[in-house]
Amino acid sequence: MQREAEQQAAVFSALADPTRLKLVKLLCRQHFPDALCVKALACLLGVSQPAISQHLRVLKAIGLVKGERRGYHIHYYINRERLESCRELVSATLSMAESGKAQGCQDDCPDRRKQDV
């Protein structure tokens, strides 16, 4: 569960930035053969080109976007299967269905006796 929470948090982290969310949405709206190069994204989102490259790196790290060169430009697009799996991951993380049995204080908790409200 330790590692699980970290992996889940990593996905939430990658999406925990408004510019990155807008980036994802922009890419989502693109459909073949429309293209969005880095400069165009920078222009649309009002930040510098390196800023976009850095955001793209974060999104690539979780497999959410991919790039493909076309002439001078690199055409960035959403990995839609991964997008769906991320959607399921965040949804499942917040799903109460995964609630197991209630957990009490551990035996070695110094305040176990005080937990009786």
The residues of the shown chain that bind its own copies, judged by CB under 8 A, are: 1-2, 5-6, 8-9, 12-13, 15-22, 24-26, 28-31, 34-37, 39-40, 43-44, 70-73, 75, 80, 83-84, 86-87, 90-91, 93-96, 98-106, 109-111, 114-115, 117
Q: In whole angstroms, how close is the CB of 71 to its own copies at the nearest point?
A: 6
56: nearest Cα among 80, 81, 71, 39: 39
Q: In whole angstroms, how close is the CB of 60 to DNA at the nearest point?
A: 8
In the shown chain, the binding pattern of residues 79 to 108 toward DNA, with x for contact by CB under 7 A and - for none, equals ------------------------------
Whichever of 13 and 57 has its CB closer to its own copies, that residue is: 13
List, as one string, the DSSP characters of 41-92.
Answer: HHHHHTS-HHHHHHHHHHHHHTT-EEEEEETTEEEEEE-HHHHHHHHHHHHH
Q: 28 — phi, psi (to 5°)? A: -60, -35
56: nearest Cα among 98, 22, 106, 94: 22
Check binding of 47 to DNA (CB under 7 A).
yes
* Cα 82–chain centre separation: 10
**Span interacting with DNA, options 24-32, 43-51, 79-87, 88-96, rule CB under 7 A:** 43-51
